[in-house]
Copies of this chain bind each other. A is one copy, B any other.
Amino acid sequence: MKLTEEIRNFKAEAISEAGAAELREAARDARVWAVAATSAAKSGHPAGALSSMDIYITLLGAANVSPELADSPERDRIVVSHGHTSAGFYAALAEYGFFPAHEMAANFRRAGSPYQGHVERCVPGVDWGTGNLGQGLAAGVGFALAARARGSNYHTWVVMGDGEQVKGQLAEARRIAMKEKLTNLTAIVDWNDIQISGRLEEVMPADIPALWAADGWRVIKCRGHDCCEIYKALKEAKNSAVPAVVLCKTTMGKGVSFMEDVADYHGKPAAGEKLEQALKELGSDVSLFDALLEERKGAMPKGRSVTHEKPVLCTGRPHTYTKEDKKDNRWAFGRTLAEVGELNYKKPGSTPILVFDCDLAGSVRVDGFAKACPENFIEAGIQEHATATAAGAASAAGVVSVWADFGVFGSDEVYNQQRLNDINRAGVKTVLTHTGLDVGEDGMTHQCIDYVGLFANTYGWNVVVPADPNQTDRATRWMLAQPGNICLAMGRSPLPVILDEKGEPFYGGDYEFRDGKIDLLRGGKDAVVLAMGHLAGRAVEAAEALAEEGISVKVLHCATPLTMDKERLFAEVGDMPLVSCEDHNAQTGIGNIAAAAFARAGKALKIKSMGVTRYGLSGRNTDVLADMGLCAEGIAAAVREILK
């Protein structure tokens, strides 16, 4: 389009008459493809797509985006939070040449096609896959924070529906943006006043302008089908001295008479005569649709491949803690994080490290980093949902994004946000402290005994559970420089350094952290104990006690339960009885992974899975653990029992 020369990067004061005509024509054409796409798929959300269309066409014309920039780190970011308007956003992208409109329309929601039901990153021009409502603004916050940390001038735009305005996570994101003064972020609401079940007032009343204003945002209103007004409002918002939201008054189903202002076509495409009428009203005809149906039988188009890049970081030299040191793992993590942070802070060529906290900096030991790298520390308050998504999106925009929190907040509370980070192939490093019964006095609600069981449901997350401060130091350095989503899980209490049979630190010196590796802590020939995390030290203690009784126990530790080297496990265990132990639900942690692996390999042996079998007590961590049998004596008893 010629138009882009006029308004691209908001150059023009206002849109010219010729420009407006061009945008209107583009919007009309895109409406044809959006309607046709949903009808070809017999599935999708035509009315919402039509509602947001003029916003999409204007924004894509004026923002710093283009097919050539689709993978550029300096492009503006656009998050479509109401991902079900995919047909509309795809059609608008096609108008700007991101891909052919007919290809999109013919293959929309076709199994194997990149043009999926909700916007996904495999489509060029889509920066964040959405579909679960209310989460887009938090992703936008992440992109905006990444821009600032990288010293990049790109702007982030978040387009939302109105029904999702009541979702709590959205308000959390609004507050983080305000606190961080993210004037490089603009929110846009398609306010058509209809959601699936009817008018907003009937479904869940909310004073949308008041909600934004209560959090300090500047509220700008405009007519959402008038490109000139939209442009003016977006430009004003972009230049605002405080974060601004543009509320666009729109009509659901705009452009197709029988879809206008009715909830019925929210999730129902037009068919038959209705489709003919819709295409006619939009200035097209059904021959276009017939051609699409033909193309839909043809070759499958390919999408963009999305990967998470390995950061460029200097990770420094590990410390070796000796047996005299009695530090908790989180202390070691915090020290290492602060060191690596300082080594790379504002260093040209280094990927910036952003650290997020939810009002627990001292407990989760990110206070050292905050001191060393103050501009890269984000205090997000008690707002875990928005933080999880923001940290995820930031990691997809060229920073190393670390979020540390108590286990139940960083995994249980935000499981779905972490699942969506997985789907988006983000690379957030989630650091869980206070996991397990080791949380002690805080009791049931704070017992994070399911993080392995949760992340096991995803396809990309890795979980790292170090055994002692030495392994924590090395695992932290390893994690920070890895691509992809990784969870580092630690307990609360000080731990003895694990020693090898010569009395030297097992994970000290030249020990290098390796994903999937099983560590042989002690040799033995009567039984095997497979431990995870802080149970490793207790397992060694049990083995030493059993040795005095003449029972020879091999002790294995694996810090990465989800990627554990199964062949090595089979080789180490042989046909000895196996006791697994972990400060984690016994049904869903490393014991379960090991048991299922043996079963699937067709191997029978005696197995006992020790772990948490009910919610634990509230008291001293050693008492709470011992009550569950998770102590050296408990492990020794289990070994004696399995050898009977």
On A, residues with C-beta under 8 Å from B are 41, 43-44, 83, 109-113, 116-118, 120, 129-134, 163-164, 166-172, 175-176, 178-179, 195-197, 202-207, 210-211, 213-216, 267, 357, 359-363, 379-383, 385-386, 408-409, 412-416, 419-420, 423, 440-446, 449-450, 453-454, 456-457, 459, 585, 587-588, 592, 595-596, 598-600, 602-609, 613-615, 617-620, 623-624, 627
Given contacts A204-B175, A457-B454, A607-B600, contact A167 B383 (CB under 8 A): yes
Report chain B residues within 8 Å CB of A196: 359-360, 362-363
Report chain B residues within 8 Å CB of A600: 595, 607-609
A587 → chain B, closest Cβ, in Å?
Answer: 6
Contact of A362 among B133, B197, B609 (CB under 8 A): B197
Report chain B residues within 8 Å CB of A445: 83, 118, 129-132, 420, 423
A-B CB contact pairs (8 Å), 24 listed: A109-B443, A109-B619, A111-B624, A117-B441, A118-B442, A130-B445, A132-B409, A132-B446, A163-B359, A166-B171, A176-B204, A179-B204, A179-B205, A197-B360, A205-B216, A207-B216, A214-B214, A385-B385, A408-B416, A412-B416, A412-B419, A413-B416, A587-B596, A595-B595
In the bound complex, do residue B605 and residue A457 qualify as a contact, i.e. CB atoms below 8 Å apart? no
Report chain B residues within 8 Å CB of A134: 382
Number of copies of this chain that the complex holds: 2
| Complex alpha-carbon distance, A6 and B287, angstroms | 82
Report chain B residues within 8 Å CB of A614: 459
- The 5 A-B residue pairs with the shortest CB-CB distance, nearest first, are A168-B168, A111-B619, A204-B381, A131-B445, A604-B604
A242 → chain B, closest Cβ, in Å?
Answer: 12
In the bound complex, do residue B163 and residue A617 qualify as a contact, i.e. CB atoms below 8 Å apart? no
Report chain B residues within 8 Å CB of A168: 167-172, 383, 385-386
Q: Closest chain B residue to A625 by CB distance? A: B111
Given contacts A166-B381, A196-B362, A599-B598, contact A617 B112 (CB under 8 A): yes
Report chain B residues within 8 Å CB of A179: 204-205
| Complex alpha-carbon distance, A423 and B171, angstroms | 28
Report chain B residues within 8 Å CB of A213: 210, 214
In the bound complex, do residue A602 and residue B599 qualify as a contact, i.e. CB atoms below 8 Å apart? no
A30 → chain B, closest Cβ, in Å?
Answer: 20
| Complex alpha-carbon distance, A112 and B595, angstroms | 31
Q: Which of A444, A450, A596, A617 has the most CB of B within 10 A?
A: A596
In the bound complex, do residue B596 and residue A118 qualify as a contact, i.e. CB atoms below 8 Å apart? no
| Complex alpha-carbon distance, A595 and B415, angstroms | 25
| Complex alpha-carbon distance, A595 and B357, angstroms | 39
Given contacts A380-B204, A415-B416, contact A444 B606 (CB under 8 A): no
Q: Closest chain B residue to A167 by CB distance? A: B382
Contact of A596 among B113, B454, B595 (CB under 8 A): B595
| Complex alpha-carbon distance, A456 and B613, angstroms | 11
Given contacts A169-B168, A172-B168, A382-B166, contact A361 B423 (CB under 8 A): no
A410 → chain B, closest Cβ, in Å?
Answer: 11
| Complex alpha-carbon distance, A619 and B440, angstroms | 48
Report chain B residues within 8 Å CB of A195: 359, 381-382
In the bound complex, do residue A204 and residue B615 qualify as a contact, i.e. CB atoms below 8 Å apart? no
Report chain B residues within 8 Å CB of A385: 168, 385
| Complex alpha-carbon distance, A386 and B210, angstroms | 21
Report chain B residues within 8 Å CB of A587: 456-457, 596
In the bound complex, do residue A203 and residue B163 qualify as a contact, i.e. CB atoms below 8 Å apart? no
A61 → chain B, closest Cβ, in Å?
Answer: 28
